[in-house]
Amino acid sequence: MNTQSPSSPTPQRGRGIYLLPNLFTTSALLAGFYALIAAHNGQFETAAISILVAMVLDGFDGRVARMTNTTTAFGAEYDSMADMVSFGAAPAFLMYTWSLSHLPVAEYGQLGWVACFVYTGCCGLRLARFNVAVGTADKRFFQGLACPAAAAVLASLVWVCEEFNAAGDELIPLALFATVSTGLLMVSTFMYYSFKDLGESKKVPFAMLLGLLLLLVTTAVDPPKMILIASALYAAAGPGYALFRWVRKRNKRVARVD
């Protein structure tokens, strides 16, 4: 006999989470966490590669969620938490253990870890700004350098230097500049193309396919150098485009005055 009255609330099932996109997010988080362990053990090349692996996995989770229509608020928040570890803490810790920890404390105080914290703090601010702008911002463009791209610059820099047997304590000015500049670019207002609209169309130009093929081939020939060149050019694209727009507006104003 059913003793539940018609007005009694119906028991609700607990909400579950989708496995596939969160599996990619967890894998990216694992790669970022392993980068921290490797950097602590002095395995800098392994740590750099782990960060780049996390970047690749992070690129899949969102696309898989959109393709399978499994996008959730939980997944978005989990992705941000994973990004904070993989692209905020791990690259900063890698730069500190590889190079900036060798700064003479007597002369420069705590500049090394402060620079690394600036990068990590900017990553957190960048993620928070991105989360509150979801649904209102133009998805074709990022405001500020994306965290995975900033992490790719630092990780590939360490990878290339390790291949050339260049010690981090000999490249402190370069490491300091790369760490602080990528951090500030993340919280800047420079616009960066997001590449998110490339997979939405069923048909793409033949030239684009050819360009992607050439990019994959050249990257496979020498991954560390090509990733460093590509990530550095992408990071510089934001200020470069802003300078181009400023010069064009200035020339238009001068032309109207004449």
Confidence of residue 8 (pLDDT cuts 50, 70, 90): very low
Note whether residue 4 is domain-resident. no
Q: Show Cβ contacts of residue 100 under 8 Å, excluding neighbours closer than 6 positions.
A: 111, 112, 113, 115, 116, 168, 172, 175, 176, 179
Res. 50 pLDDT band, cuts 50 70 90: very high
Q: Could you tell me whether strands 191-193 and 141-143 are parallel, antiparallel, or unpaired per DSSP bridges?
A: antiparallel
Assess if residue 51 is contained within a domain.
yes
Residue 5 lies in a domain: no
pLDDT over 80 (residue 184): yes
Across the range 178-193, mean pLDDT stands at: 95
Mean pLDDT throughout 16-35?
86
The answer to whether residue 12 is domain-embedded is no
With 60 as the cut, is the pLDDT of residue 219 above it? yes
pLDDT of residue 4 exceeding 60, the answer is no
Is the pLDDT confidence value at 9 over 60? no
| Helix or strand run (H / E) with residue 143 | strand 141-143
Give the number of domains in the chain. Answer: 1
CATH of the domain at 123: 1.20.120.1760
50, HSE (Cβ side, Cα atoms, 13 Å)? 22
Residue 8 lies in a domain: no
Average pLDDT along the chain: 85
Residue 77 lies inside a defined structural domain of this protein:
yes
Residue 177 scores a pLDDT above 60? yes
Bigger pLDDT: 131 or 171?
Answer: 171
pLDDT for 190 equals 94
Residue 11 located in a structural domain: no
pLDDT at 106: 65
Q: Strand, coil or helix: what is 141?
A: strand
**Which of 7-21, 30-44, 45-59, 138-152 has the lowest average pLDDT?**
7-21
Query: The domain containing residue 87 runs over which residues?
Result: 19-257
Query: Band of the pLDDT at 1, cuts 50, 70, 90?
Result: very low
Mean pLDDT confidence for 136-157: 89
- The answer to whether residue 7 is domain-embedded is no
Among 159, 181, 16, 241, smallest CA distance to 249 is for 241
Asked if pLDDT for residue 39 goes beyond 90, the answer is yes
